[in-house]
Amino acid sequence: MNDTNADTPLGRLVGSLSLRPVVRVPAGASLQEAARVLQAANVSSALVGDGPRRIVTERDLCRALAEGLGPSDAVASVVQHIPVWATTTSQVFDVAVMMLQHQVRHLVVVSPAGEEAGIVSMRDVLALVLPAHLALPDGEEG
């Protein structure tokens, strides 16, 4: 059984982490425009439009191309509606479990008041729980 008290990496609150800032893609953007936003920000996910209700990831863009969509097709056709989210008071252990259960690599983190606090990725969780010498270099995202 894992020790998830507040003094362990798995017991830390997500709100205590250095969360990635939210990157946004305009609601009417094309797949190519969305890919450019992700590349320019060096991230692998972005919220689409206003609010935390839709997210697009590199995986979504890859699936879109595999399904025959082209660069000019609307990003809205591949977004994940109502993405999996956590609160700033969620423990890292619970975030890891949610990612595994929902088979996602990114969670939108919201404050208890429902305001966007940032994005947490699988890499963020792994970097926290693995020894520092195994973590990816800064600036690389998983």
Q: What is the pLDDT of residues 106-128, one digit of tens each?
A: 999 999 888 889 999 998 888 88
Predicted pLDDT of residue 136: 55
Whole-angstrom distance, CA of residue 57 vs CA of residue 137: 21
Mean pLDDT for all residues in the chain: 87
Residue 141 pLDDT class (50, 70, 90 cuts): low
Predicted pLDDT of residue 28: 93
Predicted pLDDT of residue 74: 96
Q: Walk me through the domains of the chain, giving residue ranges and CATH numbers.
A: 9-130 (3.10.580.10)
Predicted pLDDT of residue 133: 47
How far does the chain reach from its first CA to its final CA, in angstroms?
27
Predicted pLDDT of residue 89: 95
Q: Which residue has the tokens 């969670």?
A: 107
Q: Does 8 or 94 have the greater pLDDT score?
A: 94
pLDDT tens for 69-86 read: 999 999 999 998 878 899
Predicted pLDDT of residue 59: 93
Count of Cβ atoms closer than 10 Å to residue 109 Cβ: 24
Nearest to 77 by CA among 53, 93, 60, 58: 60
pLDDT of 132 over the 60 cut = no
